[in-house]
Structure 1
Amino acid sequence: MHPPSLKTLPEDFRVTEYLGLETAPPDGSTHTYLLLWKRGLTTHEALRELAAAFAVDVQDVAAAGLKDEDGVTEQFVSVRGLLSHADIERANVPAGGGRRAWRVTPHGTGTAALRTGGLDGNGFRLIVRDLDDATAAVLAEGPRRHTHFFVNYYDTQRFGVPGGPKETHLIGGSLLAGDEDTALELLRRSGSAEGRQALEHRGPAGEFWRRLDPRVPVFYRCAHASYQWNAQVRDLLRENAAGEVADVDREGVPYAFATTRAAVLALAAHSPELDYVRYRWTDGECVRSTAARPTVLQTHISVHRVEPDSLYPGRFACTISFFLPSGGYATSAVHQWFVQARASSQDGAQGAPMAAVPAGGGHA
């Protein structure tokens, strides 16, 4: 089976955030909650834009999760203070035909800012493109709903922006080592919004890092911890998968993907969780802690349509949807789904991931 093509267009990758957000009447509330629709910019960029639009400090605008720029995403944002409908409308940028656009709508008010890690999960609706005839046939003729187990890796977007080098973990490692000069040089070649700011900076490196929204350097430290966590999980998978592993290099980031469901479940049985290092900006300082992260996630992938691909003549496109808990990466889930299916079709194994659930179950 041909590897899938994801995010060919921003509209191919749609994400909706789920958050049990407690609201309160405006009287006594300290924050306004907004639903942010965006395309073509990261969450950090969107927070900066909204802070400027509302004339507040960037640290007064917060989100519970980070969303990529190469998709169409919806997420919650909190803003310190009570905003009027006129304030909110003035902050909006028409979608138009440009790549970068966002819109916020009021969701309510409450007494607390959003915090990273408070997210419940995300719903995804993706168009997977450039599929060959064999893959399209399996998807079209198979069940509408599939149970999928996959290794819970941090995916490539954690380590760099689309088209840029995947080096956020190196930036984080340099910051953790106190080497702000190397971190700045790496940032300058990153292709990110912060990288563009770094290219314009002419003073000492430390001055640049202190001028940034402090949540941004914290993100790079987290990326370093994510890369280390991935390496530990790769080793554990190889130790427990009985050789049913495919080594995959994705944009310079190494992965080991299980080729069978049994290999994934063997990892889960041996090490259901693995501690990772977490960094957060809390009360004016970067706080380091550890927490358990599951090594394996389960989801249910629904197949909605299989049809000729208008962007790849002679190929096919498939629309799928699924839900992941906070911290799960849709791109990793889908790539591993196809790796397992391809291996099963090649060796004739029974119980392939794309034939795991009776047809018709749970189809939306």
Structure 2
Amino acid sequence: MVKLYTKIKQKPEDFVVEELPILEPKESGNFYLLKLHKSNTSTLEAVRILSRFLKIPLKEIGFAGLKDKFAVTTQYLTIPDSYTVESCCFGIKNNRWVRKETVNVGKETGFCVEILGKVNRKLNLGDLKGNRFTITVRNFEKNLRGKFYRNLEIVKSYGFPNYFGEQRFGSVKSRDDFVLRYILKGDFDGALRSYFFGKSTVDYWGDWKKLYKTLSPALEEYEKDLIKGLMRGLPAEKAFRILPKNVRLMFNFAFQSFLWNETLREYVEMKYPFVRIPFINNWKLSYYLKVHDFKHLEKLEIPYTGHVYKPEDPKLKKVMKKVFKKYGVKEEWFDKETAGMVVMTDGLRKAIVKPEDFRILEKTKKHVKLQFTLPPGSYATVLLRFLIKG
């Protein structure tokens, strides 16, 4: 199998993402609208650095989506106008984040924010029209080209399964080890151990001073505060709440996204001829090769839990039951309040997606450059896995 990231992310500028904003800047409003232009930096990392340097609480900075780290991306932020905000840049110097006059985004690790104007409300997750991707696929050998164009015809006819991509699973440090599963069982000590080490065995767990000394060089400030809390004698649940809420919610998103992906994979395998493609953590994604009921599939929405949005498709209902049984999901977990948040909530997500404005901008014997637009919440890497590896 072709390794995806030997093809599409050799350089940050090979993977360009532009957020299509839903808000237009105006002269007045209660929030600043800023453009964030970054490379080799995750959205959360950029927001945390901005928060620390500008002394703005993390929860006050709004954004519409999480953009890839190893890429050149443009997206938008909001900050209440009660804070002092200015256009600025940040980069790495001597292994530390520092403020800089300029950053050569795409060539350097770092980011810049530019004030565009004002808006009347905060940006929340999903507040965007979509994302435009410009992606260079390298090492485009002859054997890959045939596969690529064959799979592209399938995508043009039937779209592709709308799986959550690997960015959604940044909190999963080892296979099937989800922090949320510990939280749902009330095991906050296990949740913290999983957060820091995944399923790895650590002989000094509980020796908080040693833990701090060992991990602190690589930790975020809030992670250091968490361990300091344990050192002061805080119980695991209270220490866990030191993590910012958006970080805690990521544990919920990761587990629910995994269950949703597994549901869609099982559904595809039940109904259509398919190819199974390696994903992260030894997981698999299955892509259909032909669809006999495209009108049905195109409209199909898969619920996260089904306790509010009941699946009408009998095969989907059967698959959801199978997946939940396999992973030990209990009904009492749905809409459960724990660790200062509500988890395992229900919602709907489209089963498939069709890229819009798909164009081949350049092609040679060594590379091809693609451009396309996807709706909010859909992942270019999920499409590329099929085009390159299917």
Shorter-normalised TM-score: what interval? 0.7 to 0.9
Q: How many angstroms apart in 2 are the aligned matches of 1:294 and 1:218? A: 22
Residue 10 of structure 2: aligned partner:
8
Q: How many angstroms apart in 2 are the aligned matches of 1:51 and 1:156? A: 25
Q: Which amino acid aligns with 2:367?
A: A
The yes-or-no answer on 1:240 pairing with 2:271 is yes
Q: Which amino acid aligns with 2:284?
A: Y
Deviations 1:284-318 (A, max 9, x none): 9634532210011111432122235xxxxxxx221
Q: Which amino acid aligns with 2:10?
A: T
CA contact (8 A) 1:44 1:216 kept: no
Indicate the SS of the match to 2:69. Answer: coil
Deviation at 1:238, TM superposition (A): 1.0
The yes-or-no answer on 1:127 pairing with 2:136 is yes
TM-score normalised to structure 2 length = 0.71
Most deviating of 72-81 and 294-303: 294-303
Indicate the SS of the match to 2:66. Answer: coil
Residue 355 of structure 2: aligned partner:
299
Q: How many angstroms apart in 1 are the aligned matches of 2:8 and 2:197? A: 25
Residue 88 of structure 1: aligned partner:
87
CA contact (8 A) 1:122 1:323 kept: yes
Task: Rate the CA distance shift 1:138–1:329 in 2: closer, same or farther, 3 A.
Answer: closer
The yes-or-no answer on 1:250 pairing with 2:252 is no
CA contact (8 A) 2:151 2:386 kept: no
Indicate the SS of the match to 1:68. Answer: coil
Residue 336 of structure 1: aligned partner:
386
Residue 321 of structure 2: aligned partner:
none
Q: How many angstroms apart in 1 are the aligned matches of 2:27 and 2:160? A: 42
Task: Rate the CA distance shift 1:227–1:249 in 2: closer, same or farther, 3 A.
Answer: same
More strand by share: 1
Q: How many angstroms apart in 2 are the aligned matches of 1:277 and 1:195? A: 36
Residue 25 of structure 1: aligned partner:
27
Task: Rate the CA distance shift 1:213–1:98 in 2: closer, same or farther, 3 A.
Answer: farther
Residue 212 of structure 2: aligned partner:
none
Q: How many angstroms apart in 2 are the aligned matches of 1:329 and 1:210? A: 30
Residue 273 of structure 1: aligned partner:
301
Q: How many angstroms apart in 2 are the aligned matches of 1:42 and 1:234? A: 28
Deviations 1:87-119 (A, max 9, x none): 223776432597530001112212211111222
Q: How many angstroms apart in 1 are the aligned matches of 2:109 and 2:151? A: 38
The yes-or-no answer on 1:323 pairing with 2:373 is yes
Residue 153 of structure 1: aligned partner:
163
Q: How many angstroms apart in 1 are the aligned matches of 2:130 and 2:384? A: 17
Q: Which amino acid aligns with 1:8?
A: Q
Indicate the SS of the match to 1:131. Answer: coil
Q: How many angstroms apart in 2 are the aligned matches of 1:80 and 1:166? A: 38
Correspondence for 2:187 among 163, 179, 189: 179
Residue 124 of structure 2: aligned partner:
115
Q: How many residues align?
A: 321
Q: How many angstroms apart in 1 are the aligned matches of 2:37 and 2:240? A: 29
Q: How many angstroms apart in 2 are the aligned matches of 1:8 and 1:186? A: 31
Indicate the SS of the match to 2:278. Answer: strand
Q: Which amino acid aligns with 1:268?
A: L
Q: Which amino acid aligns with 2:276?
A: D
Residue 286 of structure 1: aligned partner:
341
Task: Rate the CA distance shift 1:9–1:108 in 2: closer, same or farther, 3 A.
Answer: same
Deviation at 1:188, TM superposition (A): 1.5
Superposed CA RMSD? 3.7
Task: Rate the CA distance shift 1:168–1:180 in 2: closer, same or farther, 3 A.
Answer: farther
Identity of aligned residues (%): 22
Q: How many angstroms apart in 1 are the aligned matches of 2:285 and 2:151? A: 27
Q: Gaps (5+ residues) in structure 1?
A: 309-315, 341-364
CA contact (8 A) 2:168 2:253 kept: no
